[in-house]
Amino acid sequence: MLSTILTILHVLFALGIITTVLLQSGRSAGLSGAISGGAEQLFGKRKGMDELLSRISTGFAIAFMLTAIILTVVNG
């Protein structure tokens, strides 16, 4: 029972990490940088949103690591 709940939480944290990292803006300077530069002129920079997403992804990563350690102890 506990193992099942922890596994479900573990998967949700993994999906949360994936989602928040993909929503953050990239820092590359290639073609995607040129496209995002044009988008920034139209929509403005979203620095506050990137900072929030960075904090959320850090929280998801910490929770993911903790559930991985707990699952290892419980199932080991």
**Strands, E, within the chain: which ranges?**
none
pTM beyond 0.85: the answer is no
pLDDT at 29: 47
Q: Please write the tens of the pLDDT for every residue from 30-59.
A: 455 555 555 555 555 667 888 899 999 999
Residue 50 pLDDT: 84
Dihedral over alpha carbons 27, 68, 56, 31 (to 10 degrees): 20
